[in-house]
């Protein structure tokens, strides 16, 4: 499946209807954190961050000149050369053809990942999911099993509009 680039170009021009989700997520980001916003769109997450945070947008379209371009569904993934304190993936996982590969990649870009996802329980209508442009349909159990399979420690920290918001870190290695 291919990313709908035209749709995402439109979201760079005005705040999306789901922007409140960014405010909820930002409340879990400490002052002074370096933040990578994967799927940044309009970049409104920046306005909700504490003043001491640094912000780096990443998206499949250039929302700003500072945006790092990425296209996960085509395997066009940049080497970052650094890690961030927090990687935010707000409303992007549904649009990814390979959720495991995506999670493997973004979890390596930071100490902690904050990610939202609309599980199949929250939106069970597959036709509606496709109208939304979503590529995958994971249940809560499947999503949490995927996190565990990848060695990620995930806990749900919030919910917004039927979307689960998780904090993810690499699971500690057993001695």
Write the CATH number for 74. 3.40.50.150
What H or E segment, with its residue span, contains residue 130? helix 126-131
The domain in which residue 28 lies consists of 5-170
Give the chain's domain count.
Answer: 1
pLDDT of 90-147, one tens digit each? 999 999 999 999 999 999 999 999 999 999 999 999 999 999 999 999 999 999 999 9
Residue 175 lies in a domain: no
**C-alpha angle 76-78-82 in degrees, rounded to nearest 5:** 160
pLDDT tens track for 53-87: 999 999 999 988 999 999 999 999 999 999 999 99
């Amino acid at each position: 499946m291919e990313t709908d680039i035209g749709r995402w170009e439109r979201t760079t021009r005005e705040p999306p209807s789901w922007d409140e989700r960014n405010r909820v997520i930002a409340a879990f980001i400490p002052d002074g954190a370096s933040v990578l916003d994967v799927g940044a769109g309009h970049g409104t997450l920046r306005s909700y961050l504490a003043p001491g945070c640094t912000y780096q947008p990443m998206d499949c379209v250039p929302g700003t000149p500072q945006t790092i371009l990425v296209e996960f569904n085509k395997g066009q993934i940049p080497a970052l050369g650094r890690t961030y304190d927090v990687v935010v993936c707000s409303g992007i996982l549904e649009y990814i053809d390979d959720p495991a590969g995506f999670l493997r990649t973004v979890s390596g870009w930071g100490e902690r990942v904050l990610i939202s996802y609309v599980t199949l329980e929250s939106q069970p209508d597959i036709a509606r999911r496709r109208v939304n442009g979503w590529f995958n349909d994971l249940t809560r159990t499947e999503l949490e099993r995927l996190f565990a399979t990848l060695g990620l420690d995930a806990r749900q920290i919030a919910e917004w509009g039927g979307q689960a918001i998780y904090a993810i870190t690499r699971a500690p290695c057993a001695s």
